[in-house]
């Protein structure tokens, strides 16, 4: 087992975060979300628990017996061990009290492991502490990718592209969503992904978030949409494609042509300096042209990195549509599908890097 990112890169990330905490007079931050834990430590580890003081070295809390393996994958040297969850909270609270911390940050994020129970437990155990949200500070750092991150995302993109190219041609009538997902997962793991995510939507009933069902099978005249989150060294690329199974249906062909044109418009307009809302206005014209405006989901783009969906997420948080895109951001579009009753979901999505010149690559 070896570290996948150099210590100096990881240490620099912590130092930048510490500088931001000092500016806001935050004494320390308790990292409990997996993606931010990876961002600062360089490795995935369940359950994520990392205390970062505004001054000094971070402390990781690791289950007893796992510490040797953890130390081989990270630059963090300060490790506290525990045997059960309550002991973690007790140790963290003890360090906070003994250090005299008055303002401590937690992430109020959208990640699945940002459980509200941790927040409530933390407040009860540390009534003397003012708890503040540091998610904006962390995501502000994470939005701009370094060379390591860009390289990993590109490798993840290659895995996703290869997988889609191999699986789309074998989708046919009779296959279930889970059988299609099995083909995708098999290749993703084989090609180097460690925590891939797959969504499959077989028509005629469209679903935005389509975790596969075993009893939904491909029939005649339906869309089949496949969504992949492929990862490499914990960094993701998001890719989606739709294929139509059946005869030459005019409405289906119009929807596919609409999505192809919308994708090209988005690719031509998306660059550093623009705001997603400005691109969305142009996409509305495309949807209206093809009579698809009533079927579209609002939003078109989201960030990509240690999560498949990162800030900005224009389909979920309307305010993110006004965030100005910058060089070294990784973005995926078109994230928002067409939802057409009796046919299914139509989607075309690819992950791009905004390079130093502000262009997509």
**What percent of the chain shows pLDDT beyond 70?**
97
Q: CATH number of the domain that 274 lies in?
A: 3.90.230.10
Q: Report which of residues 125 and 29 the model is more confident about.
A: 29
- Is 361 a domain residue? no
Tell me: do 304 and 220 sit in the same domain: yes
Whether 46 has a pLDDT exceeding 80, the answer reads yes
pLDDT attached to residue 238: 98
State the CB neighbour count (10 A cutoff) for residue 103.
Answer: 16
Distance CA 24, CA 93 (A): 21
Tell me how far apart the alpha carbons of residues 225 and 204 are, in angstroms, rounded to a whole number. Answer: 11
Query: Within this chain, do residues 54 and 190 fall inside the same structural domain, yes or no?
Result: no
Crossing angle for the helix pair 250-269 and 276-289, to the nearest 10 degrees: 150
Which helix (H) or strand (E) segment holds residue 14: the answer is helix 7-23
Considering the domain architecture, whether residues 86 and 227 belong to the same structural domain is answered as no
pLDDT mean across residues, the chain? 94
Query: Does residue 2 lie within any of the structural domains?
Result: no
If pLDDT is split at 50, 70 and 90, which confidence band does 111 have? low
pLDDT tens-digit map of 238-279: 999 999 999 878 999 999 999 999 999 999 999 999 999 999
174 plus 111 within the same structural domain: no
Of 84, 112, 142, which residue sits at a domain end? 142
Q: Is residue 78 part of a domain?
A: yes
Determine the pLDDT at residue 31.
94
Considering the domain architecture, whether residues 339 and 318 belong to the same structural domain is answered as yes
Could you give the CA distance from residue 4 to residue 105 in angstroms, rounded to a whole number? 27
Q: Is residue 125 located within the same domain as residue 231? A: no
> 201 and 131 in one domain?
no
The vertex-247 CA angle with 242 and 248, nearest 5°, equals 80
Q: Is it the case that residue 113 has pLDDT exceeding 80?
A: no
Strand 197-202 with 28-31, pairing: unpaired
Asked if residue 115 has pLDDT above 80, the reply is no
**CATH number of domain containing 72:** 3.40.350.10
Return the pLDDT at 187.
Answer: 98
The domain total for the chain is: 2
In a domain, 358, yes or no: no
Asked if residue 90 and residue 179 are part of one domain, the reply reads: no
pLDDT of residue 108: 84
Is the domain of 48 the same as that of 194?
no
**pLDDT tens-digit profile of 201-217?**
999 999 988 999 999 99
Instruction: State pTM to two decimals.
Output: 0.93
**Which among 179, 182, 306 is positioned nearest to 238, based on CA atoms?**
306
- Are 125 and 210 found together in one domain? no
Q: Is the pLDDT of residue 116 over 80?
A: no
Query: What is the extent of the structural domain holding 210?
Result: 144-353
**Residue at 360 is within a domain:** no
148 and 111, same structural domain? no
Does one domain contain both 257 and 279? Answer: yes
Among residues 99, 115, 142, which one ends one of the domains?
142
Average pLDDT, integer, range 233-240? 98
Q: How far apart are alpha carbons 225 and 237 in whole angstroms?
A: 17
Region 312-326: mean pLDDT is 94
| Beta-sheet strands, E only, within 25-171 | 28-31, 50-53, 59-63, 78-82, 103-106, 130-133
Domain closes at, from 142, 177, 196: 142
């Amino acid at each position: 087992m070896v570290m996948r990112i150099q210590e100096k890169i990881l240490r620099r990330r912590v130092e930048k975060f510490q500088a931001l905490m000092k500016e806001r007079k935050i004494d320390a931050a308790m990292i409990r979300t997996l993606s931010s834990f990876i961002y600062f430590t360089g490795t995935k580890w369940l359950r994520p628990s990392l205390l970062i003081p505004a001054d000094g070295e971070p402390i990781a809390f690791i289950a007893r017996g796992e510490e040797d393996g953890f130390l081989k994958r990270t630059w963090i040297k300060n490790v506290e061990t525990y045997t059960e969850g309550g002991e973690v909270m007790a140790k963290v609270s003890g360090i906070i009290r003994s250090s005299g911390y008055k303002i401590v940050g937690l992430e109020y994020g959208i990640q699945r492991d940002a459980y509200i129970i941790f927040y409530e437990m933390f407040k009860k155990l540390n009534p003397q502490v003012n708890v503040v949200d540091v998610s904006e500070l962390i995501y502000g750092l994470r939005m701009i990718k370094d060379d390591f991150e860009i390289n990993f995302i590109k490798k993840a993109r290659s895995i996703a592209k290869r997988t889609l190219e191999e699986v789309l041609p074998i989708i046919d009538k009779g296959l279930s969503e889970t059988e299609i997902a099995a083909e995708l997962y098999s290749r993703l793991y084989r090609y180097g992904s460690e925590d891939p995510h797959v969504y499959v939507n077989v028509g005629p009933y469209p679903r935005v978030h389509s975790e596969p069902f075993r009893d939904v099978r491909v029939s005649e005249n339906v869309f089949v949409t496949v969504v992949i989150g492929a990862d490499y060294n914990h960094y993701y690329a998001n890719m989606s494609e739709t294929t139509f199974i059946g005869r030459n249906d005019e409405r289906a062909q119009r929807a596919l042509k609409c999505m192809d044109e919308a994708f090209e418009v988005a690719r031509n307009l998306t660059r550093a300096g623009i705001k997603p809302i400005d691109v969305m206005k142009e996409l509305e014209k495309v949807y209206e042209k093809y009579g698809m405006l009533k079927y579209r989901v609002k939003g078109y783009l989201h960030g990509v990195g240690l999560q498949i969906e990162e800030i900005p997420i224009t389909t979920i948080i309307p305010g993110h549509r006004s965030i100005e895109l910058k060089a070294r951001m990784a973005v995926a579009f078109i994230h928002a599908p067409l939802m057409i009753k009796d046919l299914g979901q139509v989607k075309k999505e690819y992950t791009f890097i905004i390079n130093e010149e502000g262009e997509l690559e």
